Amino acid sequence: NIWQNTALCYKSLLSILLVGGTNMDYNDCVELVQRQDARNIFKACDVNLSFMPQPLQMFYALYNPIDVEIVLADLTSISLCPVSGLKEIQYEYPIDKNAFVFATKEGDAIYHMPNGIFTCAHGSSVIKHEKIADSFDSFIEKIVKEIRKW
């Protein structure tokens, strides 16, 4: 039912705001990513986001990355996982019980942990967490700085 989905989305937004959401304006990043490739699609979500870490909830509530691949200046690419695929991708990349995978870079997981955003080599027998940002917001800022300008 569309009304139930809308209510869930508003409930998620309200809980984010009451808990103390971010001051980050994600719109600039989204516009930049869409200018890079018009096929990059973001849409507001219509599901309860309580299953994901709080720092990611505002972004996903407002800008669920339906189909998004971001090319960086070094010609590598980051694929952001849509809400519909987040639960499944956790099983594809079993990293750590505290890790929440939300993206990949050239097939390697990008994930949130309580102390930052990390990546590690996919398929490695020993997981070596490589910190790439102090927070989800700083990860988004990093994308803005490193995105390939055509």
Percent of the chain whose predicted confidence (pLDDT) is above 90 = 57
Please state the rounded mean pLDDT for residues 130-148. Answer: 91
Q: What is the band of 110 on the pLDDT scale with cuts at 50, 70, 90? A: very high
Q: 8-21: per-residue pLDDT in tens?
A: 555 445 444 444 44
At 92, the pLDDT band (50, 70, 90 cuts) reads confident
113-130 tens-digit pLDDT = 999 999 987 766 667 888
- Cα–Cα distance, 72 to 131 (Å, whole number): 18
Task: Find the mean pLDDT for residues 99-109.
Answer: 93
Residue range 35-69, pLDDT digits in tens: 999 999 999 988 899 999 999 999 999 999 999 99
DSSP codes, the chain: -HHHHHHHHHHHHHHHHHH------THHHHHHHHHH-TT-EEE---S--TTS-HHHHHHHHH-EEEEEEEEBTTS-EEEEPPHHHHHHHHHHS---TT-EEEEEETTEEEEEETTEEEE--TT-SS---EEEESSHHHHHHHHHHHBPP-
pLDDT at 16: 42
| Residue 111 to residue 90: CA distance in whole angstroms | 10
Question: Is the confidence at residue 4, as pLDDT, over 90?
Answer: no
Residue 120 is predicted with a pLDDT of 85
Arithmetic mean of pLDDT, 77-81 = 95
